[in-house]
Structure 1
Amino acid sequence: MKLAPVSFSNIPLGRPLPFSLHNAEGILLASRGYVFNEREALDTLAAHGTLFVDPQEVRQYRRAMEAQMNSMVNAGNTTLGQIADTQIMAPEPSSAPSARPPEELGDPDAPIDWLDMQSRANTLLRDTKSLRFMFRLDRLQRDLSRVLTRNPDTALFALIHLTASETRYYSATHAMLVCAMCSLAARDVLNWSPELETTMVRACLTMNIGMTELQDQLTLQREPVSPEQREQIEHHPLRSVQLLRERGVRDPIWLEAVQQHHQVSAGPLGGRTPADQIARLIHRADGFAARLSPRATRPPMAPSAAMHATYFDESKKVDEAGASLIKAVGIYPPGSFVKLASNEIATVVRRGANTLTPRVAVLVNREGMPMLEPAIRDTRLHDHRILSSVNYKDIRVRPDLVRLLALT
């Protein structure tokens, strides 16, 4: 889609937008018909950088405006002031830059602050009424996509480590892990288009906005789920769609994927609609990420066990979506713990040439003593092959996330 820049002075306040607004990458910021009622919203747009419109929408708008003005002039009883008040000037269509300049995106080599990412995702999911919602979503999506492209092992390590080691910001961390797994499967295994992957990322990040607070609460709750909570859980996909619509989202694939992510049936991905494919992939990654997380009433499941449950569908048959996730992240994904043939305990820091031979860093030596410095092992070698997965609760050392991320 070719885009044309638009001036902020052409954006109406208190009136429906005559055309959709996009950023330089073509990501939708505000749909046609959205009403900016507050100056703060336009200030937020200004901080977002140059805005762009679809020239075809502009041409359609111009034709409609010309027809309306001609009708008013021919009516004979319309003042010049009324005619001028109806016109919202639009830019002439022109070629937009293919991408935002690198300097506007920040330093691409700068390390990701994962605790800050958690906090930002938590704010996004809890403050869905904010006029800044779409801008926060855009920024979070951009940062996640950047690290998933440049170093996916870092993203997997950080998100799996945070998922298994803490309950703070559960809903936010869960959404980002599902997003990371689905993105890698879509890109590296299923060969989905970049456009479909972008839609899927948005669906992953927003699938549970209808119950974010409840999700975080249930992680710490020891009592059984109440009937009221059960009802909220069952209806959260529809609630999430409602909240997205209120923020101006009109993408039918995005909305349908969110609505169906708990209801989509098992079976091959071929022959499904794009929304159904996204929903199925999310559904399988959603279950995997939930099993990794600790609850007040149970410890986290080991990743290999969670992977086994993801690989087979509800009928105990191999699931195409689940299998693509495993192929993308590995049976022993970064951030998980394993026991080696050398009797050492290690954490996986990078995926390997196949799903069974990742790169690992030893944290506990064969005598059961913590290592002062992690030692890298090649699991392709017989003496260092992986014997089994180790549950996070059975690890006696608490590795430093920042220190280990350097090894990814």
Structure 2
Amino acid sequence: MPFDVFAEDGRLLLPANARLNDERVVARLRLQGALFVQPRDYDAWRRGMAKAVDGVLQQNAKLSNLARARPDLVRAEIPAMPGEEWEGQVVALDSAMQGRGTDKPWLTRVLEVQAGMRTLSARRMDEALFHLVYTGGNRTAHYTSRQALRCMLIAGEAARELKWDDERIALLDKVALTMNAGAWQLHDRMARHAGRIEDPDDRAQMDRHPADSAQMLQDSGVTDDAWLEAVRLHHDDSLASLPMAELSPGQQIAVLLRRVDRYSAMLSRRVGRGALSATQAAQMACLGADGRPDPIGSLVLKAVGLYPPGSYVTLASNESGIVLMRGARANQPMVAALLNAQGMVMAEPRPRDTSQPNLAVRAALRPEQMTVDPPLVKLQILWSWLRSQAVNAAASP
């Protein structure tokens, strides 16, 4: 089939274009009961099918010819989906974590994801943030994996504001990707069910998961004290009031990730609770008692902006859209307008530089407040154009 096939809980069961020539795989699929595909993939397949049928019939060919040619005809009509490279990292991390244990291969695969994500995002950080924030606000599948990668990138950007070197940021990455190893499936399950944790065993597992995660890493051969300490302390709030300069390297990583983890979770959808707007997330995770960003909160907002890529906003022009890229200032991102001043869907997304007073961001929106899905293929073109503009501006004398 020319599209990915998923279980009800969002697990990928069969990748696109995989051959079903193994009876054991077929048997496992039959045991799943209902199978699911992404709506956009199915719609693309259906459009491709309609075009294939029309083309064959116009040639006066027999319908039996269509039946034989159909897979290749349809597959040719489905382009590579924008963002699939980022989603590939999400799936790869989840796959590595599903096989975690006391052996090293699972950890090796996690570190491969870390390296791959850094390579991909090196020149396209805004696109990476966009995908992880946008999908996090609209999907619950692979919740824990998506959250881990989002935390890794946001915390990494904040660490650069702190002038941490590459070696220390690499350690931060490792902590972000492994800090929830001790309760990976439980976090995923929580995202798919409304309400609080009721089961005492689940509650106990959630409470001890920082220690369990550190022990799992240690059992798999990790000897880096800072890595283990940061994982153990990533939910510890006793360090938050202490100056960063007084903390050990592991404690500093834990303090930063604790805040980023909370902020990132606020931007994510869970069953029974929609994602918050960017300003709501900032208010709940980055502001102190006086209503102003505290030192760590300021770092986070400076790193990704008050309106991070992938979040929704409405502008002074009464247009609404989605943030594409961070701007020179935290409150001045580049936005793709999707709805015009009358609330009608625009035929093409239009780039809006919110540093201009007549296009300034007026308010942040929750994902559920938008009445249109962003046209990702067209946004990909906008990103390419914006990158070329930035390169030309940098090259100008």
Q: What residue number does 1:168 align with?
A: 141
The DSSP-based 3-state class of the residue aligned with 2:140 is: coil
Q: Which amino acid aligns with 2:367?
A: Y
Residue 318 (structure 1) shift: 4.0
Does structure 2 conserve the Cα–Cα contact (< 8 Å) formed by 1:378 and 1:384?
A: yes
Larger helix share, 1 or 2:
2
Q: Does 1:236 align with 2:209?
A: yes
Q: What residue number does 2:107 align with?
A: 134
Aligned mate of 2:96, from 118, 124, 139: 124
Distance 1:317 1:254 in 2: 31
Distance 2:288 2:360 in 1: 29
Q: What residue number does 1:299 align with?
A: 274
Q: Classify 1:244/1:337 alpha carbon distance in 2 versus 1 (closer, same or farther; 3 Å).
A: same
Residue 242 (structure 1) shift: 1.3
Deviations 1:219-257 (A, max 9, x none): 111243122211111000011011111211111100100
Q: What residue number does 1:266 align with?
A: 240
Q: Which amino acid aligns with 2:253?
A: I
Q: Structure 1 residues 304-313 or 148-157, which shifts more?
A: 304-313
Q: What residue number does 1:14 align with?
A: none
Does structure 2 conserve the Cα–Cα contact (< 8 Å) formed by 1:210 and 1:237?
A: yes
Q: What residue number does 1:40 align with?
A: none
Q: Classify 1:403/1:135 alpha carbon distance in 2 versus 1 (closer, same or farther; 3 Å).
A: farther
Aligned mate of 1:340, from 309, 312, 315: 315
Does structure 2 conserve the Cα–Cα contact (< 8 Å) formed by 1:310 and 1:323?
A: no
Does structure 1 conserve the Cα–Cα contact (< 8 Å) formed by 2:322 and 2:374?
A: no
The DSSP-based 3-state class of the residue aligned with 1:339 is: strand
Q: Which amino acid aligns with 2:262?
A: G
Does structure 1 conserve the Cα–Cα contact (< 8 Å) formed by 2:263 and 2:285?
A: yes
Residue 317 (structure 1) shift: 6.8
**For the aligned residues, what is the CA RMSD?**
1.9
Written as runs of structure 1 = structure 2, the 5 A alignment for 1:37-52 is none
Moved over 6 A (4+): 314-317
Q: Which amino acid aligns with 1:158?
A: H
Does structure 2 conserve the Cα–Cα contact (< 8 Å) formed by 1:126 and 1:209?
A: no
Distance 1:234 1:315 in 2: 30
The DSSP-based 3-state class of the residue aligned with 1:374 is: strand
Written as runs of structure 1 = structure 2, the 5 A alignment for 1:96-115 is 113-115=85-87
Q: What residue number does 2:252 align with?
A: 277
Aligned mate of 1:312, from 272, 275, 287: 287
Gaps of 5+ in 2: 1-81, 384-397
Aligned mate of 1:329, from 264, 279, 304: 304
Does structure 2 conserve the Cα–Cα contact (< 8 Å) formed by 1:301 and 1:391?
A: yes
Residue 362 (structure 1) shift: 0.5
Distance 2:175 2:214 in 1: 10
TM-score by length of 2: 0.72
Does structure 2 conserve the Cα–Cα contact (< 8 Å) formed by 1:157 and 1:405?
A: no
Residue 315 (structure 1) shift: 8.5
Deviations 1:51-98 (A, max 9, x none): xxxxxxxxxxxxxxxxxxxxxxxxxxxxxxxxxxxxxxxxxxxxxxxx
Deviations 1:133-191 (A, max 9, x none): 1321221111221233212111111110111010000000000000000111112x100
The DSSP-based 3-state class of the residue aligned with 2:244 is: coil
Q: What residue number does 1:203 align with?
A: 175
Aligned mate of 1:256, from 229, 245, 252: 229
Aligned mate of 2:372, from 369, 392, 397: 397
Q: Which amino acid aligns with 2:205?
A: Q
Aligned mate of 1:152, from 125, 128, 136: 125
Gaps of 5+ in 1: 1-109
Aligned mate of 1:193, from 155, 165, 173: 165
Number of aligned positions between the proteins: 298
Q: Structure 1 residues 189-198 or 124-133, which shifts more?
A: 124-133
Q: Classify 1:316/1:339 alpha carbon distance in 2 versus 1 (closer, same or farther; 3 Å).
A: closer
The DSSP-based 3-state class of the residue aligned with 1:361 is: strand
Distance 2:195 2:280 in 1: 26
Distance 1:258 1:406 in 2: 39
